[in-house]
Structures are given as C-alpha cells and as structure tokens.
Amino acid sequence: NAGVTQTPKFQVLKTGQSMTLQCAQDMNHEYMSWYRQDPGMGLRLIHYSVGAGITDQGEVPNGYNVSRSTTEDFPLRLLSAAPSQTSVYFCASSYTTTGTDTQYFGPGTRLTVL
Amino acid sequence: ELKVEQNPLFLSMQEGKNYTIYCNYSTTSDRLYWYRQDPGKSLESLFVLLSNGAVKQEGRLMASLDTKARLSTLHITAAVHDLSATYFCAVDEAGGSEKLVFGKGTKLTVNP
C-alpha cells in the first residue's frame, strides 16, 4: 500500500489564483480530512468526509472547497488564494468514522501564496 | 468549544533523564491521540487512548489518559537523542466524531 499520497509537494501561487491539492489513499478508509499547519498553531481541521458523497466543514473552512466522489480521493480546492493561506497542508485518513482508529497522515503540501 | 493545551511547548533535556509532557483539554472526550513529527516531515501516530485509565507504552514512551481530569500525559523514560521531535496530542471533538482538535505541540530536544 502507498498509504496516503499528496500532490504537489510544493506550490507557489499568486494572490487570486486557484488550485487543487490532491489527496488519495489506497487503504479503503471511509474517513478523510484536510488540516493546515501553521507555525506555533498545531494542526487545524479544514474539511472532512465520512464517506463518498459526504463532506462537512471543520474549524477553518473559509476559502476552501472539497468534494468526495470516490472513497479513494479527497481533493482540496483553493478558490482564490490569499497570503493567509500560506501553510503546510496535510491530508489524513482513517478506517473508522467513530474515532477508534488513528488517522494516517500524508506527506504534506507546502503552499506559498505571494 | 474544545480547547487543547500542551505543556511545556519547548523542552530541552539531557540524555538519560525522565520527563513528562502534559495535555489538558476543556470538554468531555474519551478519545485522545499522540503523534510525533520530525522537522519537515508528516505526523506519525504514537498512541490511541480510548478510555479512562488507558495506558500504552512503546519503548521509552508511555501515554496515559484520565478522562475525569481531562488530562493525558506522555512520559519519557531515559531519553535518547532519537526522541528529539515535536509531539502533538489531539482530542476527538465529540468522542467519536473523528474531528480532531490538536494541541500546539511540544518541541523536545534531547541533548547528549
């Protein structure tokens, strides 16, 4: 298994540009989520999904969209990038949707918005 | 709103010493997780604690959960340099929702 994969690893955007961060998992996990990590802030939940076709907002959803058309993929879309979205983005997945399993994290995407 | 606080945020210790990292949280939950992150890397799962009184050990690390006190501890025994990393605790927001709220992390440096 490749586990949780994310592309790209690094990205530089200009303010106002849009882009999609890709996340895929091959472990047949129901739960998938996106976090952002900022220095001194820990990780904060952006959006999550408990299965294909089901998504919901986390703590910091503004400026981001998600969809989940398959179990494997959970892309994160930045609609109009802002410098405040400069961060490291992690995708995670879990077998359960009830918190009894750990979440497995992808390698991260480091995004800079100029 | 769930708040998760870790103490200390920075910890410098000598090899061979023992120390404890504390994770306090503000609302009821019986699901707590510990992760390790090396610089520039992703998060690695260390422990999943799912009930009051849960204790788990792996090598020189031991984690425990007291849901009544809303407190988890990560105890380091006889630290070695390889344990240098940032350690995060995370609490399930609604005791089974999978919506995790993370502490800010404890950056541990183990000096020879």
pLDDT digits (tens, 9 = 90+) for A91-114: 999 987 666 778 999 999 999 999
Per-residue pLDDT at B96: 65
Chain mean pLDDT for chain B = 93
Is A101–B48 a contact, with Cβ atoms under 8 angstroms apart? yes
Neighbour tally for A70: CB within 10 Å: 10
Per-residue pLDDT at A99: 62
Shortest Cα distance, chain A CAs vs residue B60, angstroms: 20
In the predicted model, what is the mean pLDDT of residues A70-89? 97
Per-residue pLDDT at A47: 97
User: Using one digit for the tens of pLDDT, what is the confidence trace for A12-51?
Assistant: 999 999 999 999 999 999 999 999 999 878 899 999 999 9
The nearest alpha carbon in chain B to A40 belongs to B104
CA dist., res. A46 & res. A98, Å (int): 19
Chain A residues with CB-CB distance to B under 8 A?
A: 31, 33, 35, 40-45, 48, 50, 58-59, 90, 92, 94, 96-108
pLDDT at B84 over 80: yes
The nearest alpha carbon in chain A to B43 belongs to A105
CA torsion B36-B39-B40-B44 (nearest 10°) is -10
